[in-house]
Amino acid sequence: METTDSINRADFERVDMRVGRIVAVEPFPEARKPAYRLKVDFGPLGVKKSSAQVTNYTPEELQGRQVVAVVNFPPKQIGPAISEVLVLGGIDADGEVRLLCPDPDCELGSKVA
């Protein structure tokens, strides 16, 4: 099992992870690695854009799906697009991203702790 450097609790608490719902999925052929452009609704925080390498899902599987994302990283230029949030997932043995799935009762914009 891979280990990582330790961080303290204060470092972790600075990462703002929120529950959102994917409301739009578009192809992103300009990306270096296969990806989609996503729009994610975070309720009171609004709709944010993300580029996500989750092409192991179909657009239909992604549309309407609840996700967890980091919302306080600075925007990142990815090809011609700006990614405002980082959608989180686990990486399986085949290197595929499996999206984190919050409880269906979580409200959009809920802080993950």
For residue 59, the domain's CATH number is 2.40.50.140
Q: pTM for the complete prediction? A: 0.91
The tally of domains found in the chain comes to 1
Q: What is the pLDDT of residues 48-103, one digit of tens each?
A: 999 999 999 999 999 999 999 999 999 999 989 999 999 999 999 998 999 999 99
Domain membership flag for residue 5: no
State the pLDDT confidence band at 109, using cuts at 50, 70 and 90: very high
| Domain membership of residue 18 as a residue range | 12-103
Residue 67 is assigned to a structural domain of this protein: yes
Q: Over the chain, what is the mean pLDDT?
A: 94
Q: Is 1's pLDDT higher than 70?
A: no
> Within a domain: residue 7?
no
Cα–Cα distance, 19 to 58 (Å, whole number): 21
Predicted confidence (pLDDT) per residue in 75-86, tens digit: 999 989 999 999
Q: Phi-psi bin for 95: left (phi > 0), alpha (psi -120 to 50), beta?
A: left
Judging by DSSP bridges, how do beta strands 17-27 and 66-70 pair with one another? antiparallel
Q: 3: which residues sit within 8 A by CB, 6+ positions away? A: none
